[in-house]
Amino acid sequence: MDEFRQYLTGINLIQIGFLWFLVYWTLRYLETTIAGSFLRSIGFVAILAVIIAVKVFDMFGMAALSEIFKYFVIFAIISVVIIFQPEFRHGITRLGRSPFARTLRRLGVKAPESGPSSEDEICRAARRFSKNHTGSMVVIEREISLQAYIDRSVRLDASVRAELLDTIFTTPTLLHDGAVIVRGDRLEAAGAVLPLTQNPSLPKRYGTRHRAAVGISEESDAVVVVTSEETGAISLVYGGQLYAQEDTVKMEETLQRLVSGEDPVPV
């Protein structure tokens, strides 16, 4: 009991609290990803096993095994980071869209601008598609991971550029009929096949492209920019609802607010 009490010092409690905070927020921002599921399922078990193993080695004076095991743990951590690199990047992207980050932006603390944002490029492409009556569907991932759909699509991992979107959707390639998926500032995949909505109230004039856009927005919190091949109309789709966009300037503002986690511009 005395041995237990000696660990309950102020410094140790601070260290435990800091580690708890670090683990909690790491899992919080990875909770919708494969890495988050992995850490929740076996991560804590693995950590517990490591602690027990190190303790056993120390108790029996196995200095050599203890040293080797420590290097093995370092190797395992590096391997997890490499394997789940896209998931960790997604978590970091979510951190940049967190309320804390938005508060910093309101206070004037901003990251240096590196060029047009993904939303700018998507809206620029949508205007061109609308003018030329080109059908397109751009899905923007937010909090809920779309990794399952990315894995079944053609991986690109390219910068989001209007010219690239134009190449995908306006040429008779095998990718132009599917959706592209954007994660942060990267165009992750093209040719994605999405679930169709079963909502009977959606007007029959909307075809497969619009029904797929509504379908993915029902299953996730993604925002979809879709243009009609028949009419050239641009629509924003989120929360299982389709909103026609006649004012493209307002559309861009709405899109930026949605992607940053804020409420859309009131209609």
Alpha helix stretches (DSSP H) within the chain: 2-5, 10-30, 34-38, 44-59, 63-83, 85-96, 99-106, 118-132, 147-151, 162-170, 208-219, 248-259
Can you give the pLDDT at residue 125? 93
Residues in contact with 143: Cβ distance below 8 Å, sequence separation at least 6, in sequence order:
32, 94, 221, 261
Which residues of the chain fall below pLDDT 50?
Answer: 1, 3-4, 34, 111-113, 266-267
| Residue among 117, 116, 122 nearest 139 (CA) | 122
- Please report the pLDDT score of residue 4 as a whole number: 46
pLDDT reported for residue 176:
83
Nearest partner of 215 among 179, 250, 249, 191, judged by Cα: 179
- CB 222, CB 146: distance < 8 Å: yes
Q: Which domains does the chain have, with CATH numbers?
A: 2-106 (no CATH), 118-259 (3.40.1700.10)
Is the pTM higher than 0.85?
A: no
Residue carrying structure tokens 């003018």: 131
